[in-house]
Structure 1
Amino acid sequence: MEETQDHMEEIEGSEENVTFKSLGIVDVLCEACELLKWKTPTKIQRESIPIALQGKDVIGLAETGSGKTGSFALPILQSLLENPQRLYALILTPTRELAFQISEQFEALGSTIGIKCAVIVGGIDMMTQSLMLAKKPHVIIATPGRLVDHLENTKGFNLRSLKYLVMDEADRILNMDFEQEVDKLLKVIPRERKTYLYSATMTKKVAKLQRASLKDPVKVEVSSKYQTVDKLMQYYIFIPAKHKDVNLVYILNELAGNSFMVFCSTCANTQRVALMLRNLGMTAIPLHGQLSQAKRLGALNKFKSKTRSILIATDVASRGLDIPHVDVVINLDIPTHSKDYIHRVGRTARAGRSGKAITFVSQYDVELYQRIEHLIAKKLPLYPREDQEVMQLMERVTEAQRFARMELSETSNKKGKGKRSKRPDDEDDTEESTGVRKKFKKKKGK
């Protein structure tokens, strides 16, 4: 019902011809929106932009993929046009990828007016970043930890002139234990500023942060209920933990031709599963927090450009990343926080398209799975599969697992000796094999 109501409101909005111009956005930025193919404002943009343009603080509760970045970027850029000034706005985000994505949108929207942005995140050389900050960009997009490092260690850098503070995905910034860093930042930035706080969920920590940092804010809520889109077909599979890999391979074979995101709970498992699938001839690429920044962006780009069809990821990739073409989300490891389920499966069935989500439930996950069903208020159907067909793959998968383990230990041994080792994300498009993989391919060819 709520879904239909949202749809009705959108129709009403289009009948009233709501445009960015009618919300109060100036012509030069309206043209930038057209270049980005943003035809009409999304619901969160329609509700929050007019409030922001009035100079009020905003709390936006909206899910990922709802157009949040535009709803704070446009008012900031418009205000910057009226009062040109360096170090004007700071956007805090929980993950590096999200920071780069927000920066891309700011630069695209501000391309005609010469906006300079700096992305300040971990995994990149501090000295290079210090030079970027010395040039005094208009907008800084940062993860809290690295920004505090610069405030404490980079000579001449401060945020005393700041006019805007945005905390995007605030619930996750706080969940990732950035509370101390956020407190430090709030102490060193001007009290006289505009603050926008965006979050998918209103947790106790977010409410506390709101009281500490916002003045008479206006709350804008797009969806008050946890929900997964109607066009998303959700299933679960109940299997022993030791049969997870073989069932994963079965599903990837069954649904071949689609693009997949497979979620794992740890970096090590992500790496292992990617190697195992590579050994079986599948184009899999890992994305997790222990990769260097260049590799993370490389992995994302390969997946976006469809040169890889399977992205194996930890929760670093479950929220906020704009990956438009995922057909199937597989939760190989069930998320420990039920809300993360919503964000993970939100990677598919975007922008009105349909999609599938399949969650693996082992004997250890029953309670976590029941919490998810309770949260989304749905009983999910079992994913149909032929046990006999699954078990036929067992021998090949066991062999691929063994070789993946050998490759991982080979990698860690080389690392221990200080040599640079090749990891699955290092491979170029020629797919050159490591020694272990060559042995595996010979064995298969027998």
Structure 2
Amino acid sequence: MAAGGKEGRAAAEPEAAVVEEPRSFKDLGVTDVLCEACDQLGWKMPTKIQVEAIPVALQGRDIIGLAETGSGKTGAFALPILQALLETPQRLFALVLTPTRELAFQISEQFEALGSSIGVHSTVIVGGIDTMSQSLALAKKPHVIIATPGRLVDHLENTKGFNLRALKFLVMDEADRILNMDFETEVDKILKVIPRDRKTFLFSATMTKKVQKLQRAALKNPVKCAVSSKYQTVEKLQQYYIFIPSKFKDSYLVYILNELAGNSFMIFCSTCNNTQRTALLLRNLGFTAIPLHGQMSQNKRLGSLNKFKAKARSILLATDVASRGLDIPHVDVVINFDIPTHSKDYIHRVGRTARAGRSGKSITFVTQYDVELFQRIEHLIGKKLPAFPMQEEEVMMLTERVAEAQRLARMELREQGEKKRSRNDDDDTEEAIGVRNKVAGGKKKKRKAF
């Protein structure tokens, strides 16, 4: 990582924040107009990370925030930025970098909601959306830009007149995940073109070596605000596992959805294909299930998320694109249909339920191939999970209906694949015709010239 100077490198071990327990946002030093905005959002009391980070940020210090998912991190950086913006109004004031598109939209919603009474404008700059409309939004110079690193670098390099030379705040949210997704080069490019004289907030669930390196490059004498030093899951979360033969996974899933009917579910699968297949399977059995994965267009992804948030659908099937950051208040049950390969992802997945003091359930499917991965998860969270009570005979009674739904889902997947291929072939044909016409046109011109 480049940039940062001697001061940044010297601060290898940031000092920790020491704050007494305040009772309200006003006690933290948040101005009245923003306290009212918090109240309208239903934020009655600041969370632990907000208690630690906000007073330090209001003093103008750089921050490293270590906090688990669902801890109120967005408020911890949004409120100090909005307060600073009130004091010195300026366009292109703050940049928030996030690893995923969905998280970017969610952060933007919170900035807009908190800043609505003071006229704050934010713009989301992510992949999967037309660059021209984004260029027009950037030309209007919003106060806050929320972006994924790749698309932001595209605009910095290619959008005429756009730069971040006046930027006052940089936030890197989910920094560990930004770096795990190999955005290091992009982050490096961004650090080189923004002012060194700025405030930087780095938030991460884990302090990896890459995050430490980024901290040294990007932050000056930061204060460390840590609210959870070890991996843990929320107390009000009831965690279970079920040990099942791999070939009956679908039947067990249907059994659990029937047993816990009336709840809202997030079901995590390991691949885009399995997410799509399982969604089709459940639909064929009459469940209101929708998928969310990386091979869907951005509009479809947001559509799925909004339907689930609005409770128009009760089951959201997702890859790990949805395991972190997304705040969906009403998830009652998380099912790990495919066990996560990385134990830490388990924490983030089950963190989708039992949020903000509510209770919730998580059930992890363990097949004969997953035993070692499951033992690693138990070791990480420091507890042995109980088995979810099951009636095997009732599960076996479902196998015939499930087999028929599997057959239909496979056919639908095949049809979807063929449609996609034919669309791609059409695009290739059009491109080839375009190239041929250009070449032919060129040849005609040459003959004329001679």
Q: Tell me the TM-score normalised to structure 2 length.
A: 0.88
Task: Show the counterpart of 1:47.
Answer: 52
Q: Where do 1:209-248 residues align within 5 Å? A: 209-248=214-253
Could you say what secondary structure the match of 2:317 adopts? Answer: strand
Could you say what secondary structure the match of 2:242 adopts? Answer: strand
| 1:28 pairs with 2:47 | no
| 1:288 pairs with 2:300 | no
Cα distance in 2 for partners of 1:333, 1:285 equals 17
* 2:78 paired residue among 49, 73, 78: 73
Could you say what secondary structure the match of 1:19 adopts? Answer: coil
| 1:402 pairs with 2:407 | yes
* 2:29 aligned partner, one-letter code: G
* 1:372 aligned partner, one-letter code: I
Return the offset for 1:367: 1.3
Could you say what secondary structure the match of 1:265 adopts? Answer: coil
* 2:64 paired residue among 34, 37, 59: 59
| 1:142 pairs with 2:147 | yes
Return the offset for 1:161: 0.8
| 1:411 pairs with 2:416 | yes
Cα distance in 2 for partners of 1:325, 1:30 equals 25
Return the offset for 1:419: 9.2
Segment drifting more, 22-31 vs 142-151: 22-31
Could you say what secondary structure the match of 2:295 adopts? Answer: coil
| 1:86 pairs with 2:91 | yes
Number of matched pairs: 408
| 1:359 pairs with 2:364 | yes
Cα distance in 2 for partners of 1:139, 1:351 equals 26
* 2:267 aligned partner, one-letter code: V
Cα distance in 1 for partners of 2:300, 2:39 equals 32
Return the offset for 1:191: 0.8
Segment drifting more, 132-141 vs 37-46: 37-46
TM-aligned CA distance change 1:419 to 1:225, over 3 Å: closer
* 2:264 aligned partner, one-letter code: S
Query: Unpaired runs of 5+ in structure 1?
Result: 1-8, 421-446
Task: Show the counterpart of 1:256.
Answer: 261
Task: Show the counterpart of 1:347.
Answer: 352
CA deviation string 1:78-107 (max 9, x = no partner) = 111111111110000011111011101101
Bigger relative contact order, structure 1 or 2 (CA pairs below 8 A, ≥6 apart): 2
Cα distance in 2 for partners of 1:106, 1:377 equals 37
Could you say what secondary structure the match of 2:423 adopts? Answer: coil
Return the offset for 1:163: 0.8
* 1:200 aligned partner, one-letter code: A
* 1:379 paired residue among 373, 376, 384: 384
* 1:167 paired residue among 169, 172, 175: 172
Q: Where do 1:298-317 residues align within 5 Å? A: 298-317=303-322
Return the offset for 1:418: 2.2
* 2:326 paired residue among 315, 321, 327: 321
Task: Show the counterpart of 1:37.
Answer: 42
Return the offset for 1:377: 0.5
Could you say what secondary structure the match of 1:289 adopts? Answer: coil
Task: Report the RMSD for the aligned CA atoms in angstroms.
Answer: 1.6
Cα distance in 1 for partners of 2:278, 2:400 equals 16
Could you say what secondary structure the match of 1:224 adopts? Answer: coil
Query: Unpaired runs of 5+ in structure 2?
Result: 1-17, 426-450
* 1:197 aligned partner, one-letter code: L
Q: Where do 1:9-28 residues align within 5 Å? A: 13=21, 18-28=23-33
Cα distance in 1 for partners of 2:117, 2:356 equals 28
Task: Show the counterpart of 1:108.
Answer: 113
Q: Tell me the TM-score normalised to structure 1 length.
A: 0.89
- Runs (4+) of structure 1 exceeding 6 A deviation are none
Could you say what secondary structure the match of 1:358 adopts? Answer: strand
Could you say what secondary structure the match of 1:417 adopts? Answer: helix
Cα distance in 1 for partners of 2:158, 2:280 equals 40
Could you say what secondary structure the match of 2:420 adopts? Answer: helix
Larger Rg: 2
* 1:181 aligned partner, one-letter code: E
Cα distance in 1 for partners of 2:314, 2:260 equals 11
CA deviation string 1:339-364 (max 9, x = no partner) = 11001001111222221111111122
Cα distance in 2 for partners of 1:36, 1:258 equals 25
Cα distance in 1 for partners of 2:355, 2:31 equals 29
Q: Percent identity?
A: 79
